[in-house]
Structures are given as structure tokens and as C-alpha cells.
Amino acid sequence: MNNKLKKTVTTILLTLFFITLFNTQKVEAADVTAQDLMGSWDARLKINKLEVFGTMQKQKDAAYKQEQEPQKVTFSMHEGKLAVSFGSVPVPISLSGGKISGTEAVSVGFFPINEMILEGTVKKTANGIDFTINTWGEAFNKDRKNGWIYSYTYTNAPASAEPSASKPPAAEEPAEVEEQAVEEVIPVELITIEPGLFRLKVGAQRQLNVKIKPPGANAADVIVKSYDSNVIDINGQAVVTGRNAGYSEIVASTRDGKIQTKSRVFVGSETEVVSAVLDNIWTKSKEFLAGESFKVKVSDGNCGVRG
């Protein structure tokens, strides 16, 4: 009786073991979907390569310090496509068979030459989702005097994994570069976009000219914040192309949003532009026609207007 009971217990335990093993393997083999990735993830940053030029020498130490801090990697849907961002511009990516890849060339602030390539892997494990993303590219201003060339790796490996904290030896840096590294970063006080108001025909192009003050201010702190991509497109050289008839604003601002400026563009024929202007005026005024009110402050009191 005891031997029979032992055999029964052994059989049950072996069955449970193989069921658990099969389920674990099934989880690990399942493909990761876009929905699985949605949201922000804490990740480790490893800098494989970083070459900086011109005024960007000032940012080198700050870049290596990021290896010591958790980074945010965010997956989202951008214009109907899966995209990943590392704190700024979303990069459209493809996801297939546990592999992701993507390329992007977009103007960011004062760096019209800004190209990124990324490749990586994602997989399901018994503990959740693991990913490793390798990115490399370059960002330069128009004359290529200021910018950087980089290669980064982002991974959501366990916290016990130590990130690379290595820095290029100081001896490899020219004396002039070392002096620049300790210079104080000059904050941006004023941003302007020229032209501030213009019209484009569909398919026509216009060069934007973004300026900052004071001279030598931190150009990397300025970004092109928003525009309607259905109406216009802005390429890596800050050239605006009219796509469809309509109206759009182009907003350039510091990353904290405290300093910003706008340029306004109407796209289409004269008739289509007039229609867009009237639509814009109608959108802003129709609430008053519905019985709402607004007040205008003057020195002697308030004037109210009602529809």
C-alpha cells in the first residue's frame, strides 16, 4: 500500500513539473505585441560611443551622468504607427518576430541634421517583458560645427546589472576641449522664427530661420514643439513643405516651455487661404454667437459683449 501511494504521489509531482515547464516555455515563446509594450519603462543606458563637437562639449559630462540614472523608454502609437521615444521625438518602428527596427530623420531645435537608426529585441519571460534597444546616429547644426555622433544601448535588465560608467580618458581630450567642458551653459532668453507669417501653395517649400539670444546660448535646449503634419511637413533642414490646404502653427520653445515663439503658415490657393482664415475666425468666435460672453479690461471698467 505504501509503495502504491509513493508511485501515485511521484506521478502527480512529475505531471505538475512538466505542466509548469510547458507553460513557462509557452510564455517565453509567445510573440510580443504592440499592446504589450505600450507605456513608459525604466531602462538602463549604456553609452557605447560619444563624439561631441563645438558647443556640445559642454554637455559631455551630463551625458555620461545619465548612465547612473534610470532612463525612460516610452512606447506609444504616433500617427497610427508604433513608435518609441527616449524622452523627446517619437521614432516610428516595426515589430515582428520579437525584433524591432526603425529610422528617423527629423529637425530638433537647432539641429536640422538629426538622423537615428535603431534595432533591438523584445521577448516575453516568466517575469514579464525584456527588451534591448541599440541606437546610433548623429545630430548637427547646418554647418556641422556643433553636434555629436553617438551609439547607445537601452535595456530593462534587472537593477543588479551594472551600467557602464566608463568615460574616455582625460588624456585623449585636447586641452582646449577640457577648458570648454567647465564653461557655464548660457540659458536661452529669446527665440524668434522668420518668417512669422507666410503662405505656401500645396507642394511649395519655404526655409525657416530660427534664432536665439543671447549669443552662445544653449541651442540644444530649443525644440520644434508642434505643427499640423496634415497641412505641412518640416524636413531635417528646417524646410517647410505645404501638403494640404489649411492652417498650421509652428511652435519653437525651450524644453521647459517657459520661452517660446510661433510662426503661422497658410497652405493653398488664395481662395483656400481665405477660407482657412474665415474658418479659424469662426472657430474662435462661434462660442460667443451661442450666447457666451467675454470681457475686455479697460482703465475705467469692464465691457461685456453678448451674442
Average pLDDT over residues 72-94: 85
Which tops the pLDDT comparison, 197 or 148? 197
> What DSSP line would sit under 57-94, residue for residue?
GGGHHHHHHGGGS-EEEEEEEETTEEEEESSSS-EE-E
pLDDT of residue 247: 87
pLDDT digits (tens, 9 = 90+) for 161-177: 344 444 444 444 554 54
According to the model, what pLDDT value does residue 138 have?
A: 87
Cα separation of 91 and 84, whole Å?
Answer: 5
pTM of the model: 0.46
Q: What is the pLDDT of residue 133?
A: 94
pLDDT band of 93, cuts 50, 70, 90: very high
Say how far apart CA 137 and CA 117 lie, in whole Å: 6
pLDDT tens, 103-155? 887 666 666 667 888 899 998 888 888 899 999 888 888 778 888 898 999 99
The topology under which CATH files domain 190-306 is Immunoglobulin-like (2.60.40)
Structure confidence by residue, pLDDT tens digits, 272-286: 766 666 665 555 444
Average pLDDT estimate for 229-233:
87
- Amino acid letter for position 198: F
Q: Is residue 33 over pLDDT 60?
A: yes
Cell of 116: 537615428
pLDDT for residue 108: 61
User: Could you tell me which of 209, 269, 279 has the C-alpha nearest to residue 240?
Assistant: 209
Half-sphere exposure of 7 (CA within 13 A, CB side): 4
Q: Are 109 and 225 in contact (CB under 8 A)?
A: no
**What is residue 17's predicted lDDT score, i.e. its pLDDT?**
55
Nearest CA among 207, 204, 224, 208 for reference residue 273: 204
Torsion of CA 154, 155, 159, 164, to 10 degrees: -50
